[in-house]
Structure 1
Amino acid sequence: MFKSILLPTDGSELSDKATAMAVQFAQLNQARLVAITVITPLPFASMGDSGAVIDSGQFATQMQNAARHHIEKVAAAARAAEVPFEGVVTMSPSPYEEIVEAAKKFECDIIMMASHGRRGLNRLFLGSETQKVLAHTTLPVMVLR
């Protein structure tokens, strides 16, 4: 039924649990697993006068390294289970858009993603990428907690 599964990952403990479930689901369906990590650009400009200076080059390098590590964790789990795998690292201020586009690009049948379950003000200020994906895709989305 499902031949290609998209798994967004941010490297969190919750994403690791979602990875284990997605790998098992891929095995059961003899499906390929596509993992995506979306790097968000530097959220604010350096504030030279206030003494807070952020090296955007160093930030980008650290984020790329972390993203590759997140993808490699999923790749290792997929290899161990003999599940076909592809990994994608992309940069965008809107992770949900990248997730929805990757699902189209890789012809995925389902998106499996973790939800941190933020409530109240955290949800208001941080938003919910899972909620945005649900609102902008026509694919089935399995939300894992």
Structure 2
Amino acid sequence: MYKHILIATDGSELAGKGVAHGLELAKGLGATVTFVIVSEPFPTLAWGGAMAGYVAAEELTNYEQSARKYAREVLEKCKAEADKLGVGAKTLHIENKTPAEAILDAARAEGCDLIVMASHGRRGIGRLVLGSQTAEVVSLTQIPVLVVR
């Protein structure tokens, strides 16, 4: 049924449930997986103030280095879990995009036939104010999406 599953993660405990679920599904189906983690663009509000050019450049460098280190750690853990289960896996770290945009782009580029991701399940005002990357992915893709809560 599914041959190549994209599993999105942000390294959180909830996303870990999505990773575990996606890996078990991949193992059962004999599918391969691509793990993706996304680093959003550096916050533009950080560019304000008289010394903005000097301070922000250093902060941008720190932000990018920290994001890359975190992504590497999360993806190494995901890959190790896949290896333990005998699931073929590759990893992707996408920088400077919104999570939904990056997940959709990666799924298309990698030829994935299922996207697995977790959702915080926010409702009402919390969902409107905070947004939902999962809802955006579901609403914008033609690829099936398995949402884990």
TM-score, structure 2 length as denominator? 0.89
CA distance in structure 2 between the aligned counterparts of 1:132 and 1:68, rounded to whole angstroms: 25
User: Which structure dedicates a bigger proportion of its chain to helix?
Assistant: 2
- The secondary structure found in structure 2 opposite 1:90 is strand
Asked if 1:29 is matched to 2:57, the reply is no
Asked if 1:125 is matched to 2:132, the reply is no
Residues 1-145 of structure 1: matches in 2 within 5 Å? 1-44=1-44, 45-49=46-50, 55-145=59-149
Two-structure CA RMSD over aligned residues (Å): 1.7
* Aligned residues of 2:8 and 2:19 also touching (Cα < 8 A): no
Aligned sequence identity (%)? 38
2:12 alignment partner AA: S
After TM superposition, where is structure 1 displaced by more than 6 Å over at least 4 residues in a row? none
- The secondary structure found in structure 1 opposite 2:34 is strand
Q: Deviations over 1:22-59 (max 9, x none)?
A: 111010000001010110011123333599x5511001
CA distance in structure 1 between the aligned counterparts of 2:125 and 2:61, rounded to whole angstroms: 32
TM-score, structure 1 length as denominator? 0.92
